[in-house]
Amino acid sequence: MIHIDGSYGEGGGQILRTSVALSAVTGEAVHITDIRSNRPKPGLSAQHVKAIETAALICGATVEGVSIGSTNITFSPQEVRGGYYTIDIGTAGSIALLLQCIMPAAAYSDTDIELNIIGGTDVSWAPSIDYLENVTLKALSKMGYRCEIDTRKRGYYPRGGGVVHATISPSEPEPHDFTEETGDILGISHCSNLPEHVAKRQADSAKDIIGKAGYDCHIITECAEYPSTGSGITLYCGMKGAYVPGKRGLPAEKVGSRAAAELLDELSNRSSVDVHLADQLIPYMGLAKGGSFTVREISSHTTTNIWVTEQFLDVKFKIQKKGNMMEILAI
């Protein structure tokens, strides 16, 4: 059994998700202690419990200590099984983060895994569903990963109620050397149960800033009446993205301009991936035992994910400076 100190590095939810994911892939049981000790409310929250339970469901794992507030769990997996699973997170807990915990192992199933997930699609401190689809999954497809996402309803904080259908097909991760991709900036600006001009103003202010920086951009707007109320914008270009959720009291123009500034910051150097994608690629590069990318800076999520991945897999990551960027290679 592998022991993981959950307080290592970033000490948040990601150590837990990556540990459970790689335990499910390798079949090695894992005991995780001091879970989320660097967060104001340590231990498992509802969305972490749901992620572990879903991982357990798809690989027939027995678990111990999986309840809200728990700081210690044991996860003992068996074989990953294909099939159709319905998962209700019950809150606006992030569907993208639940998938982060499931996706590595799901690729090792003998048949497709179909998931119908109810929860949050556009919430804070997590990738938006549009980021997952247009940045993360696009990058992973270059490594042979196969997952289709269909967002049927968006879910915003606090009610959630978003519905996403994900189909993951069997595949083996392959090494890929990511290089800078240029092109037009694309985006999706959306709102639910709010006047249509909210989505439009978010998009217009982003377009204005992006245009002044000399890029062409195409941002679609979406206005709907879903069970929850909210707004947000995701912009992307190549393997880089920026997501900003709307917030009561935050003008729609600010939401759009923040997303534009964030993406332009990522595009201002020749790196191949953005700071968030960098941490998300690590477990797949570990499984592929190879590949590389450049990024403008290394986050503590990335160094923490490297550490966790090295605990489970026979792989080493090398970090080196490359001009004004950092390069990460899996060996």
Ligand X SMILES: Nc1ncnc2c1ncn2[C@@H]1O[C@H](COP(=O)(O)OP(=O)(O)OP(=O)(O)O)[C@@H](O)[C@H]1O
Closest CA to 19 of 283, 301, 292: 283
3-state DSSP assignment of residue 8 = coil
* Per CB under 6 A, 306 contacts ligand X: no
- What number of chain residues touch ligand X (CB under 6 A)? 16
Q: Name the segment binding ligand X (CB under 6 A); options: 80-88, 122-130, 209-217, 222-230.
A: 122-130
Among 6, 20, 21, 36, binds ligand X (CB under 6 A): 36
* Per CB under 6 A, 6 contacts ligand X: no
- Give per-residue burial for 244-278: e unless 16+ CB within 10 Å, then b: bbbeeeeebebbbbbbbebbbebbeeebbbbbbbb
Measured distance CA(186)–CA(183) in Å, rounded: 9
* Per CB under 6 A, 43 contacts ligand X: no
* Per CB under 6 A, 93 contacts ligand X: no
Smallest distance from the beta carbon of 111 to ligand X, in angstroms? 28
Decide whether 27 or 125 has the Cβ nearer to ligand X.
125
Burial grade of 45 (CB within 10 A; 0-12, 13-18, 19 or more): middle
Q: Which of residues 195-254 bind ligand X (CB under 6 A)?
A: 243
* Per CB under 6 A, 122 contacts ligand X: no
Decide whether 243 or 293 has the Cβ nearer to ligand X.
243
* Per CB under 6 A, 10 contacts ligand X: yes
Q: How many CB atoms lie within 10 A of CB 32?
A: 25
* Per CB under 6 A, 301 contacts ligand X: yes
Shortest Cβ contact with ligand X: which residue? 13
Residue type present at position 298: I
Answer yes or no: 190 catalytic.
no
Closest CA to 124 of 104, 103, 94, 79: 94
* Per CB under 6 A, 127 contacts ligand X: yes
Decide whether 125 or 314 has the Cβ nearer to ligand X.
125
* Per CB under 6 A, 77 contacts ligand X: no
Residues in binding site for ATP: 100, 276-280
Smallest distance from the beta carbon of 99 to ligand X, in angstroms? 11
Decide whether 11 or 161 has the Cβ nearer to ligand X.
11
DSSP-derived pairing of the beta strands 217-224 and 185-192: parallel
Smallest distance from the beta carbon of 38 to ligand X, in angstroms? 8
Measured distance CA(148)–CA(153) in Å, rounded: 16
Measured distance CA(75)–CA(71) in Å, rounded: 13
Smallest distance from the beta carbon of 39 to ligand X, in angstroms? 5
Measured distance CA(126)–CA(244) in Å, rounded: 10
Q: Name the segment binding ligand X (CB under 6 A); options: 12-20, 56-64, 114-122, 222-230.
A: 12-20
Decide whether 179 or 300 has the Cβ nearer to ligand X.
300
* Per CB under 6 A, 39 contacts ligand X: yes
Smallest distance from the beta carbon of 48 to ligand X, in angstroms? 6
**How far, in Å, are 64, 77, 114, 282 from residue 33 at the CA level?**
12, 18, 31, 22
Smallest distance from the beta carbon of 119 to ligand X, in angstroms? 13
What DSSP designation does 172 have? -
DSSP 205-269: HHHHHHHHTT--EEEEEEEE--SS-EEEEEEEETTEEEEEE--TTS-HHHHHHHHHHHHHHHHTS
Among 259, 279, 295, 313, binds ligand X (CB under 6 A): 279
Decide whether 54 or 280 has the Cβ nearer to ligand X.
280
Binding site for ligand X (CB under 6 A): 10, 12-14, 36, 39, 97, 125-127, 131, 243, 276, 279-280, 301
Which residues are known to be catalytic?
301
